[in-house]
Structure 1
Amino acid sequence: MTAPFGIKEVREAYMRIQSWIHRTPVITSATLDELAGRKLFFKAENLQKTGSFKARGACNAVFLEKQHNPNSPGVVTHSSGNHGQALAYAAKCAGLPCSVVVPQGTPRVKCDAIQHYGADLVFCQPTPAARRETCGQIAAQTGRAVIHPYDNYSVMAGQGTIALELLEQVPDLDAILVPISGGGMTSGIAVTTHHMQPKCRVFAVEPFGKQLQQCLEKKQRLWPNPPQFLNTVADAIRTQQVGDLTFPILCEFAEPNVFTICDDQMVEGMKLAWERSKMVVEAASGAAVYAAVRCVANVVPDVERVGVILCGGNVDLDTLPWVKPDVSY
């Protein structure tokens, strides 16, 4: 398979967006290396503009929309929060109106940020179908271009710039662990890594219940329909099914072995990052941290140098997952 985008499109995306994003640092920890039994390199996208990697793909897609359609009426998307923040930020940078659809129950910190960037915030029922339908209605009413959070090749190419930076910062990695929801980031990183360092393997890190490995092994979409959200503490990776556009890319360029992490393990990963590296990360990032520290030795014991994507840091400090609510009266 030839991917619909490659290193050329990723490098072009980087040139397009680099003035509007951070070149995020790579963090190391001797303590976490010792626990993992190998060298770990944490790509700190929690320090990215808008607090997550999503700023990369959103900026690339929105700037291309403005380039191709100077009179664009704006953009619209649906999101669990991080892509919504990123699209609102990108639209503000491009001077375009923006609407963001989020499911009811989206963390307040993400909703506040979306509105802070000037976007219209619209709530819908907490189902994938409701998100798509509400987004489609707004697009039909306003003429705004739909920028899908992951099933968009321009978004994927933008996310691929994570690997472009990481493999320049640490050029001899054996593997990269990537938290996965719809698969846009994992696809972008996998395609870019394939071109830059073919021997480096890209592994997805999923929440319990996603069942991605059996789909990748058989190269078939085996998920039950209709699409659903998973019941997980990691609101950024609740989507069970990866995208129609991302799935064939993942089948070709990502490893079929998938790290499956439960909620308690994600929370442990968050705590490890906070306590050992002083990094505030979301539960989705915690999943990657736990996989790197506790699971790599059993799943792929031959890798020695592992990149770990800290995908976001938009944590609602009023509802930390390890703090029990006070029900006393």
Structure 2
Amino acid sequence: MQALSLADLESAADIAYQVLSPTPQINWPLLSARCGNEVWVKHENHNPTGAFKVRGGLVYMSRLEQRDPDCPGVVTATRGNHGQSVALAAARSGIPAVVVVPHGNSASKNSAMEALGCELVVYGRDFDESAAHAGRLAKKRNLHRMPSFHLDLVAGVASYALEFLRSKPTLERVYVPIGLGSGICGMISARNALQLSTEIIGVVSSEARCYQKSLAAGHCVNTDSANTLADGMAVRVPNAEALQMMSGNVAEIVAVSDEEVLQAMSCFFHDTHNVAEGAGAAALAALLQQCDRYRDKKLGVVLSGGNVDSCVYARALTLQA
């Protein structure tokens, strides 16, 4: 997959900034004290859809309009945040959007997508089965099949990483959750374009290790399941282009359990009064797992989103922070 230049990233950021503003990066004293390091949080939960994905959707849809001004509609698959991004961007462009989600998907994310104007289709036991169905719908209904990983999506979401790394260029390590890969590939693209030495640490669920296994093997390795409450990381089939971009650019992949994610959600609330969804808390969960190994460092964590169902969040808040 081709590398994105700084000019590529800045051009994509200009598109995103027509709708949203840069999100803050904040050093919370309580959180830093808990971790024994200077910790900076990138607050993508402050975006219009409550997650980083909106950046990519806006860029992809803008460029799709240029490539195909007569596009009859788009169809995509999601566990929620990508779908909200597509629904918002499609509505702004006046293009119909169909979003496929698996059975048992987050009720609040489903409601948010429908409120943004998309047609919601429920199909499959997980994201990967929903994605296959989206492909079939694209052919059946003559819709543009919008992927969940694409260079335009990476360029768009990389704007969060440009903001973070330009503001804090001396970060030694930054922890980034991995779903299908656009978020971490955006961070890689920005780090490389800015010619920084920041180590990038990918974070997966212990119940969805496809990228951890794939990077270790040097090729795509599917898993049989991806049963985690961190739905943004519930992927069992890795994307080959994302894997190629991660290879040689990610210092380490850390796996975190659902219990560690819930604990990190609780810590975010008690130390910062911010709401984090499962994937949004995963970066902090990984740092907490490793904080005894790293002391007095300048570290970053990406709070990628805050769209969590109340029943899951209630579980997190019962834990001692």
TM-score range, shorter chain: over 0.9
Match of 2:303 in 1: 310
How many residues in Structure 1 have an aligned counterpart in Structure 2? 316
Amino acid at match of 2:205: P
Alpha-carbon deviation of 1:50? 0.8
Tell me, in whole angstroms, the C-alpha distance in 1 between the residues paired with 2:176 and 2:229. 17
Amino acid at match of 1:309: V
Match of 1:246 in 2: 242
Sort the Cα spacing of 1:220 and 1:133 in 2 relative to 1 into closer, same or farther, 3 A.
Answer: closer
User: Counterparts of 1:262-273 in structure 2 under 5 Å?
Assistant: 262-273=257-268
Find the residue that maps to 2:240 and give its secondary structure. Answer: coil
Which 5+ residue runs of structure 1 have no aligned equivalent? 325-329
Q: Does 1:153 align with 2:151?
A: yes
| RMSD value, Cα | 1.9
Sort the Cα spacing of 1:131 and 1:230 in 2 relative to 1 into closer, same or farther, 3 A.
Answer: same
User: Counterparts of 1:155-194 in structure 2 under 5 Å?
Assistant: 155-194=153-192
Tell me, in whole angstroms, the C-alpha distance in 2 between the residues paired with 1:297 and 1:249. 30
Match of 1:260 in 2: 255
Match of 1:77 in 2: 76
Query: Per-residue displacement from partner, 1:53-74 (whole Å, max 9, x unpaired)?
Result: 0101111111110122111112
205-214 or 267-276: bigger deviation: 205-214
Query: Per-residue displacement from partner, 1:115-139 (whole Å, max 9, x unpaired)?
Result: 1111100000113453123211221
Tell me, in whole angstroms, the C-alpha distance in 2 between the residues paired with 1:199 and 1:8. 20
Tell me, in whole angstroms, the C-alpha distance in 2 between the residues paired with 1:314 and 1:164. 23
User: Counterparts of 1:39-188 in structure 2 under 5 Å?
Assistant: 39-150=38-149, 152-188=150-186
Find the residue that maps to 1:245 and give its secondary structure. Answer: helix
User: Counterparts of 1:166-245 in structure 2 under 5 Å?
Assistant: 166-209=164-207, 210=209, 212-224=211-223, 228-245=224-241
TM-score (normalised: structure 2): 0.92
Find the residue that maps to 1:20 and give its secondary structure. Answer: coil
User: Counterparts of 1:17-36 in structure 2 under 5 Å?
Assistant: 17-36=16-35
Alpha-carbon deviation of 1:113? 0.8
Find the residue that maps to 2:171 and give its secondary structure. Answer: coil
Asked if the contact 2:230/2:278 (under 8 Å) is kept, the reply is: yes
Tell me, in whole angstroms, the C-alpha distance in 2 between the residues paired with 1:22 and 1:191. 20
Find the residue that maps to 1:171 and give its secondary structure. Answer: coil
Sort the Cα spacing of 1:98 and 1:297 in 2 relative to 1 into closer, same or farther, 3 A.
Answer: same
> Stretches of 4+ moved more than 6 A in 1?
none
Alpha-carbon deviation of 1:159? 1.4
Alpha-carbon deviation of 1:200? 0.6
Tell me, in whole angstroms, the C-alpha distance in 2 between the residues paired with 1:319 and 1:264. 11
Percent identity over the alignment is 26
Tell me, in whole angstroms, the C-alpha distance in 2 between the residues paired with 1:95 and 1:56. 18
Asked if the contact 2:16/2:59 (under 8 Å) is kept, the reply is: yes
Alpha-carbon deviation of 1:4? 4.3
Which 5+ residue runs of structure 2 have no aligned equivalent? none
Alpha-carbon deviation of 1:26? 1.0
TM-score (normalised: structure 1): 0.90
